[in-house]
Amino acid sequence: GAVVSQHPSWVICKSGTSVKIECRSLDFQATTMFWYRQFPKQSLMLMATSNEGSKATYEQGVEKDKFLINHASLTLSTLTVTSAHPEDSSFYICSARTTSGRRDTQYFGPGTRLTVL
């Protein structure tokens, strides 16, 4: 149990285009999902907290107009990188939080590698 999927697993896009990444909790409901960014050989940096039915909470330094987050249901959160530029190239990872029977635990998706040309 506690499986989180992400789609797509990788994407290559041209500079200036927008890219949408989906994060789904497959066997549990998640009122809260998190979006992280991981640079090569570095740790995960929290970008934002996605709350079902309300606005996301962004970490300091993360542009909310550039990284649009929508958490439309208890099993789906999306991250849209708008007007992507090469510096946005990174590995984006989501996690879904569960408190049902497993205490407060986050399960992670496999990540999405974004390359902006």
Partner 1 sequence: AQSVSQHNHHVILSEAASLELGCNYSYGGTVNLFWYVQYPGQHLQLLLKYFSGDPLVKGIKGFEAEFIKSKFSFNLRKPSVQWSDTAEYFCAPLDTGRRALTFGSGTRLQVQP
* Interface ranges with partner 1 (CB under 8 A): 32, 34, 36, 41-46, 49, 57, 93, 95, 97, 103-111
Q: C-beta of 87: minimal distance to partner 1 in Å?
A: 21
Q: How far is the CB of 110 from partner 1 (least distance, A)?
A: 4
Nearer to partner 1, 19 or 33 (CB): 33
C-beta closer to partner 1: residue 68 or 108: 108
Q: How far is the CB of 83 from partner 1 (least distance, A)?
A: 27
Q: How far is the CB of 85 from partner 1 (least distance, A)?
A: 25
- C-alpha distances out from residue 101 to 21, 28, 74, Å: 28, 11, 17
Q: Which is nearer to partner 1, 32 or 75 (CB)?
A: 32
Amino acid code (one letter) for 62: V
Q: Could you give phi then psi for residue 47, rounded to 5 degrees?
A: -95, -50
